[in-house]
Amino acid sequence: MPTEIITLNDLEKFGTELKSEIKKMLSSLNGQPAKKWLKSHEVRKLLAISPGTLQHMRVSGTIPYTKIGGIIYYDHADITRVFEENKKSNKFPENGI
């Protein structure tokens, strides 16, 4: 088996190429989630809720969903929108009460 010697320049070139590839992958995400459609178990984990709570949110229309072949999918953008629409502020009024 032949022996290859790796030089410092080889390592620097590899590091530069690796950084470039990682930057390309991160910029392609552009702040978007890796998956557009999430399954129920993923949404429950994301929101830290029980199956019953998720079902209630579906039935009440809080979270839109799509059902295909018995599997329920949720759009990540819809979940983010629900969070934004229900965001509350804990700031006290200016009068201190």
pLDDT at 59 (0 to 100): 95
Residue ranges making up the domain that contains 71: 37-85
Residue 29 within a domain: no
Residue 71 within a domain: yes
CA 19, CA 73: separation in Å to the nearest integer?
A: 34
pLDDT at 37 (0 to 100): 92
Question: Is the CB of residue 83 less than 8 Å from the CB of residue 43?
Answer: no
Residue 14 within a domain: no
Domain count, the chain: 1
Q: In this predicted model, what pLDDT tens digit does every residue of 21-38 receive, in sequence order?
A: 887 776 665 665 567 899
pLDDT at 29 (0 to 100): 59
Query: pTM of whole model > 0.95?
Result: no
Q: In this predicted model, what pLDDT tens digit does every residue of 35-70 receive, in sequence order?
A: 789 999 999 988 889 999 999 999 999 999 999 999
Look up residue 77 and give its amino acid. A
87 to 51, 70, 81, 93: CA distances (angstroms) = 23, 32, 10, 17
- Name the residue among 33, 68, 38 with its Cα closest to residue 54: 38
Residue 26 within a domain: no
